[in-house]
Amino acid sequence: MVLTLTTFLLTLLSIPLLQKLYTLFYNAFLHPLRTFPGPPYVWTDWYKCYNDVYLNRNWTDVLKELHEKYGDVVRVGANELHFSNPSVYNDLYSPTHRWDKDGALYRVFNQDESSFGYLTYREAKARKDILAPLFSHRATCEMQGIVKKHLDRMCEALGKREESSDMLFALRSFSLDCITTYCFAKDVHASSAEDFKHPLVEAMDAAVPAIRVLQYFNPWRKLVFGLPPWLAKLTDPNAGARVELQDMLLEQVKEFVEDPKRMEQTSNPTIYHRLLDPSNGPVPSLKSLHDEAMSLFFGGAESSGNVSMLGTWYILQNPSIESRLREELREAWPDLEDMPRLEDLEKLPYLTAVIKESLRLSPSVPVPLPRVVPPQGATLSNHPIPGGTIVGMSLRFVHQSEEIFPDPQTFNPDRWLGPDASSLNKWLVAFSKGPTNCIGQNLAMCELYMAFAALFRRFELVLDGTRSEDLTYSEGFLPFFNPRHMRAFCRPVEA
Ligand code: HEM
């Protein structure tokens, strides 16, 4: 039988459609996860995208509803499960698990050859082991001068302003200055910009919403990341500063690779002092060095600022919390000119409790961090989970748990001070847990101790018309806040 051209073309066109129909049928009736409860829309794999992009809903809000309806393990994608029982968090992100990351999310960032972007446990662990000494508690204590210098600069800028200041951008500028100096010995002077609107701070702020969309459209994502710098700047006005930073970091990498002696001239040890040290193994490729730089920059530029801004808001809502904090700080820091060192701030119980509570109520990385169950399968929440399944859990289900943190919406530092408080520590998962937890947590904690101490010791803070609605955020990988940020007048105190 000879096919006519029309029949041939129709047959050709119908193949992808038939494949899609088969996938749908397979996901519904044959898939190993078919017995797990969940909405039928997950058979299509577009359910999350529909909520994120079309309905503009935060995925964790959807997850909360799904768990209310279907129980504590829900099939949320064709091959994906989400858990809501807090005890599963420490199991899923356990230090003993060597589970890989799921590329569908982590490829979005275009940092494939970095501690953050490597998908396999083996590669990520090898890289983190090299970098770890630079981010240890000891190293952070030794390099706290960097954080203090940038803190002073931010405080000076805040104190000079007659008008109110954008507190989100002020605190993010501080984080950004810290990370570029700490990791690359480059000072970008972010907190010197008028009202803290440094182009890099604005560029970073604009990048997070884009990630929420780009993760679903791979060809588009590749196109965006593949644009030559001049075209990227032309198509997206916010991209300029980011592209310039990328170029600057690439130049630095090339300089150090070509002539490692130049590293002797930096003001402080950088990530390259570790990565280019031959005793740490083969020198990574240029791409890998650049990916690492970008991942540390993105990891370190925003989150600490988000946490300290939100914590400041909560403290200012509650005069008794504010006065207890100020009292403790005044006692530990009597002479304004002589700020206590990090090691002394860390010993202050109320300040520590305020920071923990700020971390608990801040979104940190709000989305579930997807991991792939190894081929032999695993047991989670008493359920056998087939190998290859993507599993994840948003920290929101831990930090907002009524059983662990009664009255979870209330900012209550006292919950970290009671006789049983130390048992709560394992439920503070803002930096995640296990082998892929945050490499920068000691630096982040240093920034938080210093920022909270300085804001509530050096200033009287008065909100400028900020309402709780202004503090709402949407979820990209990181949160992005309502454009009307928290604003406050920061009046320096005399003594
Ligand atoms: C309060 C501030 C911070 C919070 C709440 C935070 C939170 C997190 C979380 C939840 C993860 C796990 C992400 C995942 O598994 O996909 C993570 C990873 C990471 N963070 Fe942070 N972070 C903070 C500050 C920093 C800083 C200052 C740096 C820079 C040194 C940094 C660099 C990184 C890197 C490189 C990773 C990837 C680690 C890995 O995948 O193995 N973070 N962070």
Ligand 1: centre distance to CA 217 (Å)? 25
Asked if residue 248 is part of any domain, the answer here is yes
Ligand 1 atom nearest to CA at 395:
10
* Residue 443 Cβ < 6 Å to ligand 1: yes
The SS3 call for residue 64 is helix
Protein residue with its CA nearest to atom 27 in ligand 1 = 300
> Across residues 415-435, what is the average pLDDT?
94
CA angle 166, 171, 175 (to 5 degrees): 145
**Amino acid at residue number 11:** T
* Residue 27 Cβ < 6 Å to ligand 1: no
Displacement of CA 86 from its chain's centroid (Å): 20
The SS3 call for residue 438 is coil
Structure confidence at residue 267 (pLDDT) = 93
| Total count of domains within the chain | 1
> Across residues 350-368, what is the average pLDDT?
97
Mean of the per-residue pLDDT values for the chain?
93
Asked if residue 346 is part of any domain, the answer here is yes
Residue pLDDT, tens place only, 431-479: 999 999 999 999 999 999 999 999 999 999 999 999 999 999 999 899 9
Give the residue among 158, 115, 187, 32 at the shortest CA–CA distance from 437.
Answer: 115
Residue 171 pLDDT grade (very low, low, confident, very high; cuts 50, 70, 90): very high
* Residue 299 Cβ < 6 Å to ligand 1: yes
* Residue 207 Cβ < 6 Å to ligand 1: no
Kindly state the DSSP code that residue 482 receives in the 8-state scheme: -
Protein residue with its CA nearest to atom 14 in ligand 1 = 369
Structure confidence at residue 390 (pLDDT) = 98
**Amino acid at residue number 449:** Y
Measured in degrees and rounded to the nearest 5, phi and psi for residue 294 equal -65, -35
Ligand 1: centre distance to CA 100 (Å)? 17
Asked if residue 435 is part of any domain, the answer here is yes
- Alpha helices (H) along 29-166: 47-49, 59-70, 86-92, 103-106, 121-131, 137-142, 144-160
* Residue 124 Cβ < 6 Å to ligand 1: yes
Give the residue among 117, 261, 272 at the shortest CA–CA distance from 186.
Answer: 272
Residue pLDDT, tens place only, 29-40: 999 999 999 999
* Residue 490 Cβ < 6 Å to ligand 1: no
Q: Strand pairing of 378-380 and 390-392?
A: unpaired
Ligand 1: centre distance to CA 299 (Å)? 5
Ligand 1: centre distance to CA 282 (Å)? 25
Out of 98, 171, 428, 438, mutate this one to test ligand 1's pocket (max ligand atoms within 8 Å of CB): namely 438
* Residue 439 Cβ < 6 Å to ligand 1: yes
pLDDT over 90 (residue 15) = no
Asked if residue 61 is part of any domain, the answer here is no
Instruction: Report the C-alpha dihedral over residues 310, 315, 317, 323, rounded to 10 degrees.
Output: -170
* Residue 121 Cβ < 6 Å to ligand 1: no
Structural tokens at position 453:
């101490």
Ligand 1 atom nearest to CA at 437:
12
Percent pLDDT > 70 in the chain is 99
- CATH number of the domain to which 219 belongs: 1.10.630.10
Ligand 1: centre distance to CA 59 (Å)? 20
Contacts of 414-419 with CB under 8 Å at 24 or more apart are: 414/353, 415/353, 415/357, 416/352, 416/353, 416/356, 416/357, 417/349, 417/350, 417/353
Residue 403 pLDDT grade (very low, low, confident, very high; cuts 50, 70, 90): very high
Residue pLDDT, tens place only, 375-402: 999 999 999 999 999 999 999 999 999 9
Structure confidence at residue 3 (pLDDT) = 66
* Residue 307 Cβ < 6 Å to ligand 1: yes
Asked if residue 51 is part of any domain, the answer here is no
Per the listing, tokens 């010993």 go with: 347
Protein residue with its CA nearest to atom 16 in ligand 1 = 369
Contacts of 216 (CB under 8 A, 6+ apart): 49, 52, 53
Q: What is the rounded distance in angstroms from the CA atom of residue 174 to the CA atom of residue 157?
A: 11
Structure confidence at residue 1 (pLDDT) = 54
> DSSP string covering 365-407, please?
S-S---EE--TT-EEETTEEE-TT-EEE--THHHHT-TTTSSS
Residue pLDDT, tens place only, 16-59: 888 889 999 999 999 999 999 999 999 987 899 999 999 999 99
Asked if residue 46 is part of any domain, the answer here is no
**Amino acid at residue number 222:** K
Residue pLDDT, tens place only, 314-342: 999 999 999 999 999 999 999 999 999 99
Ligand 1: centre distance to CA 203 (Å)? 19
Asked if residue 456 is part of any domain, the answer here is yes
Structure confidence at residue 2 (pLDDT) = 57
Protein residue with its CA nearest to atom 18 in ligand 1 = 438
Ligand 1: centre distance to CA 93 (Å)? 14
**Amino acid at residue number 273:** H
Q: What is the rounded distance in angstroms from the CA atom of residue 79 to the CA atom of residue 102?
A: 11
Q: What is the rounded distance in angstroms from the CA atom of residue 182 to the CA atom of residue 167?
A: 22
Protein residue with its CA nearest to atom 43 in ligand 1 = 438
* Residue 89 Cβ < 6 Å to ligand 1: no
Strand order in the sheet with 80-83: 73-77, 80-83, 390-392, 371-372, 100-101
> Across residues 107-112, what is the average pLDDT?
91
Asked if residue 302 is part of any domain, the answer here is yes
* Residue 295 Cβ < 6 Å to ligand 1: yes
* Residue 74 Cβ < 6 Å to ligand 1: no
CA angle 171, 175, 176 (to 5 degrees): 115
Contacts of 336 (CB under 8 A, 6+ apart): 457, 458, 493, 495
* Residue 305 Cβ < 6 Å to ligand 1: no
Domain that holds residue 427: 85-492
Structural tokens at position 412:
């209550």
